[in-house]
Amino acid sequence: MVRDYQKIKAWQLADKLVLLVYKATKGFPKSEIWGLTRRLAGEYLLYQRQPT
CB–CB of 5/11 below 8 Å?
Answer: yes
11-51 pLDDT, tens digit each? 888 889 888 878 887 887 877 777 777 787 777 777 666 66
| pLDDT for position 32 | 74
Q: How many residues are present in the chain? A: 52
Distance CA 21, CA 16 (A): 9
Distance CA 49, CA 38 (A): 17
| pLDDT for position 20 | 87
pLDDT greater at residue 1 or residue 35: 35
| pLDDT for position 1 | 54
CB–CB of 37/25 below 8 Å?
Answer: yes
| pLDDT for position 33 | 72
**Which of the 8 DSSP states describes residue 7?**
G
> Considering only CA atoms, which of 7, 5, 42 is closest in space to residue 21?
42
